[in-house]
Amino acid sequence: MLSAMPHQRRLALVLAMLVLGSTACQRAGSCTGAYCGTLVFGVVGEPDILLPPSTQEGVSRDIEEQLFLKLADIGLSTNTIGDEDFQPLLAERWEWDGPLTLVFHLDPRARWQDGQPVTASDVAFTFDAYTDSLVASPYRAALRRVASVTARDPQTAVFRFREKYPEMFYDAVYHMRVLPAHLLRGTPRDQWKTAPFGRQPLGDGPYRFVSWKAGQSLELVADSTFFLGRPAIRRLIWRFTPDIMVATTQLVADQADGHDQLVTPDNIARAAAAPQLTIYPYRGATYGYMGFNLAANGDTTQPHPIFGDRDVRRALTMAVDRASLLKSVFGDYAKVPPGPVSQLWWIWDPEMRQLPYDTTRAKWTLSSHGWRDSDKDGIRDRDGQPLAFHLLVSSVSTIRKTYARLIQEQLRQVGVQMEIDEVDNSVVAERLAAGKFDAVMLAWQTDPTPSSGVPQVWTRGGFGRSNYLRYDNPAFDALVEKATSAATRAQARVAWRGAIETVNADAPAIFLFATDNVAAFHKRVADVRIRPDSWAALVRTWRIPPDRLIDRDRVER
């Protein structure tokens, strides 16, 4: 039939189909009032699984914020010490029963979305699951100081700790999202990593799971019966994209309503220029550095021939102008960190003692240690060995690659040759674990507290874990131990400052950047509050005023 049509008619038909396709997407719905609204988040990547103890990906955690509640959650201050800044969620209140026992009283209104009440047995089941080696939860180590969790009665959960320390409450509530025991008890724990529940979860949070189209999108809908108050925005949709450029394009083209981390100044500028968007800067959780392998490349029993020398490391650190590098790469959207510190941590203090940018002193130090350019080729050498090394960089990180090239040039100015090895993440991870590298460009996304990240990355206890540089200073370890067990925040602050200044003086790494996160959301969204450790934590309190609704907000499902 189509072939019998004249050319013009066929063309008209095809055009009509395209117009229909486009007009279908402009159909207005009928929802009005305070509880309409659909937010589309363009995100990079896709969830791995929506079963909190098994989750690894950041986007999974953002979605789980809406589906599963914690007993209580950290406040906007992100203060992890004591319990005064924490907000009740599943637990309506709590009290200390002696120095090592914490008692939570659950809110009796709390319900799973199948109508079952949330009980203390669910809390005990959750702790058991998170600490079960078969589940292999990445949060298991963080719960090592909690001895047990039991149900005193259906509304009362009791936590017992192995020792007293300032972040007991944080450990009790921050890492675990309470799970529905009645739905998960029948699934063998070694199968949780791929459990069907994780692709069709049922929770107790402000939103219910609706659908997950692999590679495309995931949809949640507000639970109008949520016991802490009905969320104002009716639907949340995560659209999955392969990279930040695509996500930003979607946002700028008004085909998404928000993105939590625009990352580069280019993306931020594009979003800022889009009239429908508002920019929201907030404290970042990431810090990055160029780390020196203190052990020989491939042989952890021997010191590195260059970086084993503390003074050489200090000289290299002083040869790098961190402020100008930061400006070149991030513009105004990052800060030079005062050590291995993210802006999220309460110990952030720009006044911490650091090595200055001083190329004269750097050159003098290198020369005084025998590194001189004896053959006049522009590269320093000693005993016939050039002052040269390889830097391992992830090929998928534009920021780290840019930093690497800029540092290469700055080091060349002081007679140091640095070759850049760009490889993919899996190779970086493998070579780090095997110690097969000279130097590496790394970045860590941190928890709200330094107490978990610093020991694992920078103390001797981190050997075999994430202390890939094999930095080892007993004085530093003692200060970290003192800080993590300090009774008060003031004492902890002093100890942390001492620890960070110690590591700065030893210069196992050049601490390059601590990011400012910049999010962009549609300007029709009101009451946008972003908690720096988890941008999606407060989405249930955001709203779209009725007079700002647009077509996609009104669409009825």
Partner 1 sequence: MTAWLVRRVAASIAIVFLVVTLTFILMDVAPGKPMLGPTERLVDPQAEAILNRQFGLEGPIDVRYVSYLRELVHGNLGLSFGLRRPVADALADAIPNTLLLAGAALLIDFLIGLALGVYQALRVHRIPDVVLGNVTLFLYSVPTFWLGLILLLVFGEWLGWFPVAGMSDPILCPTVSSFYCAMDRLWHLALPALTLGFVGAAGTARFQRAAMLEVAGQDYIRTARAKGASERRVVLRHQLRNALLSFITLFGLAFPFLLTGAVLIETIFAWPGMGRLATDAILRRDFPVVNAAVLLASTMVVVGNLVADVLLAIADPRLRVRSGGGEPA
Q: Which of residues 66-125 bind partner 1 (CB under 8 A)?
A: none
Axis-axis angle for helices 450-458, 474-484 (nearest 10): 160
Tokens of 488: 């008060």
The stretch among 22-30, 76-84, 155-163, 404-412 that binds partner 1 (CB under 8 A) is: 22-30
Give the chain's radius of gyration (CA, Å): 27
Picking from 154, 150, 204, the residue whose alpha carbon sits closest to that of residue 178 is: 204
Q: Is the dihedral of CA 104, 110, 113, 114 positive or negative?
A: positive
Residue 94 or 139: which CB sits closer to partner 1? 139
**Cβ 270 to partner 1, closest distance in Å?**
9
Question: Using CA atoms, how far apart are residues 323 and 79, in angstroms rounded to an integer?
Answer: 28
- Token reading at 142: 């963080």
In whole angstroms, give the CA distance from residue 318 to residue 312.
10
Question: What does the DSSP 8-state code read for residue 117?
Answer: B
Name the β-bridge partners of 73.
87
Q: Which of residues 163-192 bind partner 1 (CB under 8 A)?
A: 190
Nearer to partner 1, 210 or 505 (CB): 210
> Smallest distance, Å, CB 247 to partner 1?
8
Contact between residue 211 and residue 219 where contact means Cβ atoms under 8 Å apart: yes
Binding mask 129-168 for partner 1 (x = CB under 8 A): ----xx-xxx-xx---------------------------
- In whole angstroms, give the CA distance from residue 370 to residue 415: 13
| CA–CA separation, 474 and 496 (whole Å) | 15
- Residue carrying structure tokens 């669910």: 122
Q: How far is the CB of 503 from partner 1 (least distance, A)?
A: 17
| Residue count, binding to partner 1 (CB under 8 A) | 78
Contact set for partner 1, span 423-482 (CB under 8 A):
423-431, 433, 443-445, 452-453, 456-457, 464-466
Q: Measured from the CB atom, is 73 or 219 closer to partner 1?
A: 219
State yes or no: residue 250 binds partner 1 (CB under 8 A). Answer: yes
Q: Which amino acid is at 460?
A: R
Restricting to residues 381-400, name those near partner 1 by CB under 8 A. Answer: 394, 396
Closer by beta carbon to partner 1, 99 or else 464: 464
The least distance separating partner 1 from the CB of residue 458, rounded to whole angstroms, comes to 12
Cβ proximity to partner 1, 196 vs 350, nearer residue: 196
> C-alpha angle 256/257/258, rounded to 5°?
100
Query: Is there a contact between 540 and 203 (Cβ–Cβ < 8 Å)?
Result: no
Taking the complex as a whole, the smallest distance from the CB of residue 64 to partner 1 amounts, in Å, to 14
Choose the binding region for partner 1 from 210-218, 258-266, 498-506, 540-548 (rule: CB under 8 A): 210-218
Considering only 211, 324, 328, 488, the residue that binds partner 1 (CB under 8 A) is 211
CA nearest neighbour of 413 among 508, 512, 315:
315
Q: How far is the CB of 133 from partner 1 (least distance, A)?
A: 6
Which residues within the stretch 483-512 sit at the binding site for partner 1 (CB under 8 A)? none
Least gap, CB of 109 to partner 1 (angstroms): 31
Minimum separation from the CB atom of position 225 to partner 1 (A): 22
* Burial letters 190-205, b for 16+ CB under 10 A, else e: eebbebebbeebbbbb
Stretch that binds partner 1, among 107-115, 145-153, 207-215, 413-421 (CB under 8 A): 207-215
**CB neighbourhood size of 22 (10 A):** 9
